[in-house]
Amino acid sequence: MGKRVRLTNDTLNSYGYRVLTSGVDVSQYERNPLLLYMHERGKVIGYMKDIRVEDGEITGEPCFDEATELSRQCKKQWEFGSLRMVSIGFDVLETSKDAEYLVEGQTRPTVTKSRIYEVSVVDIGANDDAIVLRKDGTQITLGDGSDCPLPLLNNNPNNNQPQMELKQIALTLGLPETADEAAVNAKLAELKSSKDDAEKMREENERLKLAQITAAVDAAIEAKKITADQKDHFINLGKKVGIEDLNTTITAMTPAVKLSGTLSTDPAPTTLPAKSPWEERMDEIRANLKKQ
């Protein structure tokens, strides 16, 4: 055909990552150098020959077998120039976020080791339906709306969301927006320590309040103002109204008195009390009536 094409190189693709040529294994593909159409299994239109790995890129020459109408069509369009790009399908074996493998504008890790398993003639390279990769046994066609399995870089200048979140957290904590992660973590640790101290103080205050309430209720039982079986009720009342109101309530209560204490033990009087003039007059009238 006489038209050598680039299969891949070290440059940044439109999905934000790079495939290092030095880490691409072509040995398996060279044993079965299929040429597909748009990465679709079953649409074999030929093979790739004279595959070379040199100068940071991999190149080869597409050969159309013309065994199908699709192959014959692709050959004509290739010769005419309306089809002129190819794309690789590869397995991701290893990736790296190390700065030595990153370039300006990169948003995903660099694929440092990979393996080519097919090459396709495509209409638009490194764009819709232009790159197919397999990771952990799953094939992803990036142009069909699938998510790229390579994660976004957190330390990439173009991906500043983590930095924005750190800035917002710093401002919320009362730190300057330029505070780094260490300063934010130190402030969070300080707040946690303060919270723990406040919680301990609150628990101690609650313990002291309960002790005061219990002592007041016990004193009320001792003074016969309440009975022992009312103890829990008055302790719960103290928790609700506070020790001052509880003391006021108990103070207003009268100690219980035994019934025996209300009965007189003094001996009965030996003489009757003097009669009133009216009673004496009535006695005189009754006596006269008896005489008659």
pLDDT value, residue 127: 39
pLDDT value, residue 69: 96
| Residue of 105 and 271 predicted with greater confidence | 105
Per-residue pLDDT band for 281 (boundaries 50, 70, 90) equals: low
Residues, the chain, total? Answer: 292
* Mean pLDDT for the chain overall: 80
Flag whether pLDDT at 264 surpasses 50: yes
Please answer whether residues 108 and 16 qualify as being in contact, where contact means their C-beta atoms are separated by less than 8 angstroms: yes
Q: Are strands 110-122 and 24-25 parallel, antiparallel or unpaired?
A: parallel
Encode 195-219: b = buried (16+ Cβ within 10 Å), e = exposed. eeeeeeeeeeeeeeeeeebeebbee
pLDDT value, residue 290: 67
pLDDT tens per residue, range 60-108: 999 999 999 999 999 999 899 898 888 888 888 999 988 888 888 888 8
| Residue of 29 and 204 predicted with greater confidence | 29
Q: How many CA atoms lie within 13 A of 287 on its CB side?
A: 6
| Residue of 25 and 278 predicted with greater confidence | 25
d(CA 103, CA 213): 71
When pLDDT is averaged across residues 258-263 and rounded to a whole number, the result is 57
Please answer whether residues 26 and 51 qualify as being in contact, where contact means their C-beta atoms are separated by less than 8 angstroms: yes
Per-residue pLDDT band for 15 (boundaries 50, 70, 90) equals: confident
When pLDDT is averaged across residues 271-291 and rounded to a whole number, the result is 69
Which residues are paired to 5 by β-bridges?
60
| Residue of 128 and 160 predicted with greater confidence | 160
d(CA 194, CA 174): 15
Per-residue pLDDT band for 138 (boundaries 50, 70, 90) equals: low
In the chain, domain spans: 5-144, 190-251
pLDDT tens per residue, range 149-206: 677 776 544 445 555 577 777 778 788 878 788 887 888 888 877 777 788 888 888 8
Flag whether pLDDT at 244 surpasses 50: yes
